Structure 1
Amino acid sequence: MVANVLEIDADRLWETLERSAEIGRFRDVGLRRLALSGEDRQMRDLFVEWAREAGCTVEIDRLGNIFARRPGTDPSLPPVAIGSHLDTQICGGRYDGILGVLCGLEIVRTLNDRGLQTKRGIEVICWTNEEGARFNPPMMGSMAFAKVLAEKDVLATRDDDGVTVAEALDAIGYAGPVPLGDRPFDSYLELHIEQAPVLDREGCDVGIVVGGYKTQALRLTISGDTGHAGGTPMAMRRNALVGAGYVIAAVNDIGLAYAADEGRTTTTRIESFPNLAGTYAEQVKLTLDFRHLDAARFAAMRREIDAAIADSAARANVDIEVSEGWSWGTELFAPDCIELLRNTARELGLPYREMRSQAGHDAYAVATVAPTAMIFTPCFEGISHNVNEKIELSRSVPGANLLLNAAVARANR
């Protein structure tokens, strides 16, 4: 690190991360902190407490998105926003999203330590339900903020127990009074663990994200007839679960065929009715997810997936209805924000690589309404959405210092 630059308090950041890891602890080393759950409320309360102790004003919008602002010297200017999420997957890790929010808090604390003011405010954001583990789709809070999703539709979304987002927000006390999306940003910066193994395996500690993989979810409803698992002749069966099995295997094979040039496919969710022993399935719902770096190859994957679905329906003698779910990855991050990260990294003497994100992030939604860029830091072997997600503090600090210095430079424009 060169002289006369800002550095976070690494030990304090780690202590903050460790305190977060106590809330919703799962299988000892991981977290289960589902959006708008009791555990999420505890973490939100702690974040709000920390933010207020650091001198931030805190506002909460109708979807529970939290905005903690350190004021600038010119309150007429929109702030530089730093954000991510504090909710986790069902079998989640300690750092996915959480590192980004708590690095934002650490930036505020570092500026306080130095007694430094910025021209623009710095606003640390916790977005609601980024993971989509309880309520679907993922990135719900940020996409509704950006008007990609309608507020009324989000509030009416139900979890598997029939609880709506509106009911869950009321239950934990985070249905805020601030209108959704009614706040401008000068820019938005998000730091996140990579969730892929590139940085870790290359020994590089900083990734500057220049875009994302094109990603599409498909929702399939497979309809057949229910019947007796023993008595019904094989030729008479219209087993929706068999149709689902054909689709699942075919989609996985397509992903393997495109893997050499970074294609990804999977089935993420399956619901079967009546889901009983002795009876084959009348209806199955699947959620498919496919991704590719190249737009033409992505389109080719889609054609093969569509053909596989049609073939599976014919083989199983079932009907398959397809609807499109969420999509992201085509949004371009702002060239001036990317260049700010490049220049700041060079000034700090930090080696970095430019890369594209293979995962979805709140930054994709915010990029539609404000200049946006992302920083990646390594996680061990790229393991994420898994209780064994791990990071090293020493390898996370360079990205945090890049975020700090870039945010301050941008805030003093």
Structure 2
Amino acid sequence: MADPAVDSERFRQKFDSFSEIGATDAGGVNRPALSDENKQARDRVVEWFEDAGLDVTIDEMGNIFGRRDGEEDDLAPVLFGSHVDSQYNGGRFDGVTGVLGALEVVEALNEADVTTRRPLEIVCWSNEEGVRFQPDMLGSGVFCDVFDLDYAYAREDKDGNTFGEELERISYKGDAPCEPRDIHTYFEMHVEQGPFLEQEGLPVAAVEGVFGFSWMNVTFEGQANHAGPTPMNMRHDAMVATSDVIQAVRRITATEGTDLVGTVGSVDVWPNAINVIPETVEFTVDFRSYDDDAVDAAVGRIQQEIEWAAEREGLDYEFEQIMRVDADPFHEACIDTVVAAAEELDHNYTRLVSGAGHDANYLNKICPSSMIFVPSVDGISHRESEFTEWEDIVVGTEILLEAVQKRAAE
């Protein structure tokens, strides 16, 4: 019996075919959660899972599971996968690499006629990105009892469509309960979404943990007026206050922690006209660090900056911290499994911390978890030019295959 081996050509054909779903002219994909394009991607996942002999289950949140029996099928399974929803006009590699890489692991085991001691399950999580329905990682969050099912169903997009309604519309509101259950191990392969691996010339990383973060929503309420006749000293300009806060975010990240990052990523202006003073601005603030104290200090400082900006412009304001996730160290034995797999396969590697959130954050709350990173060219992600060299994806999948077999043998 031959050892299981990744078939690069078979894997590449599936990846290229999948990239055609929701493809954009600039080489990316547009498959936001529960869109028609996301449904097409889900349909393809289910089809390929079934073709690989997996028993497919869809739960109440639309999470898709494909189960492969083990020699001792009553043991807790090794779970691995990622997501196939995308940012608006996002990249081809984000999430999909982990789902299709997991499928290639199963294909390799099938081809070698290898049955693991523990059962295996591939998973495709719902709404990891959080771009259409906030918060992100919603499917894994409900599965791990972080969010209530009714709360998740009630999330609305900007057009007023709820997550529950859209899940039914695309026929992916399954019958299986979405709740914690006995999982032996969770692995997730993902593109790094940062520059470190490429800068170091390394093909893979064992991920030690994930940054903690705070998401905030801020609204300034001023007074609309004509842009011409209104004297500067009589203005209550919500955009000016917003600009002050944006600059403060940059200052805070330079002083509150060495790895602290901050972003104002979404801004909505009303009435948004060239000749009208902005009356209302709603915007978001995102702070992240592996140091929870640094995140909390940054949140405290930006609240003060928001208050001061409102006072200077004579504005009312609202502030809400819509999400706060602590830094999350992964399970040491799972990290060591990834390291051992890389060493046995003679692949160069490093250990690093992720600045982006992933479904593995929540799985880590209910079972031992870790991640495998492969490089992002130029550190680019969440845009159409996102790219990872195919050879690096294959290396990551080889390590995933080895790591899954090690944990499934326990």
Query: Shorter chain as normaliser: what TM range?
Result: over 0.9
1:402 pairs with 2:379: no
Q: Is the 8 A contact 2:290 2:327 kept in 1?
A: no
Q: Is the 8 A contact 1:251 1:308 kept in 2?
A: no
Query: Which sits farther off after the overlay, 137-146 or 305-314?
Result: 305-314
Instruction: Find the residue that maps to 2:407 and give its secondary structure.
Output: helix
Equivalent position to 1:21, from 19, 22, 25? 19
Equivalent position to 2:261, from 261, 264, 276? 264
- Name the counterpart of 1:83: 81
1:274 pairs with 2:271: yes
**Superposition map of 1:136-151 within 5 A:** 136-151=134-149
Q: Deviations over 1:286-328 (max 9, x none)?
A: 1100112333433443333233222211222212222112233
- Name the counterpart of 1:330: 327
Query: Which sits farther off after the overlay, 85-94 or 286-295?
Result: 286-295
- Name the counterpart of 2:48: 50
Task: Give unpaired runs (5+ residues) of structure 2.
Answer: none
Q: CA deviation at 1:257?
A: 4.9
2:363 maps to amino acid: V
- Name the counterpart of 1:201: 199
Query: Which sits farther off after the overlay, 74-83 or 269-278?
Result: 269-278
- Name the counterpart of 2:179: 181
Q: Deviations over 1:344-395 (max 9, x none)?
A: 2222222210100011111001111111111101121111001111111112
Q: CA deviation at 1:223?
A: 1.9
Equivalent position to 1:290, from 274, 287, 290? 287
2:404 maps to amino acid: A
Query: Which sits farther off after the overlay, 165-174 or 223-232?
Result: 223-232
Q: Is the 8 A contact 1:69 1:123 kept in 2?
A: yes
Q: Is the 8 A contact 1:169 1:175 kept in 2?
A: yes
Q: Deviations over 1:97-150 (max 9, x none)?
A: 000000111111111000010111111110111111111111111112112112
- Name the counterpart of 1:118: 116
Q: Is the 8 A contact 2:291 2:327 kept in 1?
A: no
- Name the counterpart of 2:408: 411
Q: Is the 8 A contact 1:254 1:304 kept in 2?
A: yes
Structural RMSD (CA): 1.7
When normalised by structure 2's length, the TM-score is: 0.95
Q: Deviations over 1:230-273 (max 9, x none)?
A: 343333322222221211222133335568x2221110111223
2:291 maps to amino acid: D
When normalised by structure 1's length, the TM-score is: 0.95
Equivalenced residue count is 409
2:48 maps to amino acid: W
CA distance in 1, matches of 2:227, 2:331: 57
Task: Give unpaired runs (5+ residues) of structure 1.
Answer: none
Instruction: Find the residue that maps to 2:264 and give its secondary structure.
Output: strand
- Name the counterpart of 2:382: 385
Q: Is the 8 A contact 2:211 2:328 kept in 1?
A: no
Equivalent position to 1:216, from 214, 217, 224? 214
CA distance in 2, matches of 1:295, 1:152: 29
1:354 pairs with 2:351: yes
Q: CA deviation at 1:5?
A: 5.4
Q: Deviations over 1:174-199 (max 9, x none)?
A: 01111111532111000000000100
Q: CA deviation at 1:412?
A: 1.6
Q: Is the 8 A contact 1:6 1:401 kept in 2?
A: no
CA distance in 1, matches of 2:132, 2:69: 34
CA distance in 2, matches of 1:403, 1:396: 10
Instruction: Find the residue that maps to 1:154 and give its secondary structure.
Output: helix
Q: CA deviation at 1:277?
A: 4.1
- Name the counterpart of 2:167: 169
Q: Is the 8 A contact 1:211 1:331 kept in 2?
A: yes
Query: What is the aligned-residue identity percentage?
Result: 38
- Name the counterpart of 2:29: 31
Q: Is the 8 A contact 1:331 1:368 kept in 2?
A: no
Instruction: Find the residue that maps to 2:140 and give its secondary structure.
Output: helix
Instruction: Find the residue that maps to 2:73 and give its secondary structure.
Output: coil
Q: Is the 8 A contact 1:219 1:325 kept in 2?
A: yes
Instruction: Find the residue that maps to 1:272 and give its secondary structure.
Output: strand
CA distance in 1, matches of 2:269, 2:300: 26
Query: Which sits farther off after the overlay, 6-15 or 35-44?
Result: 6-15
Q: Is the 8 A contact 1:111 1:117 kept in 2?
A: yes
CA distance in 2, matches of 1:132, 1:359: 13
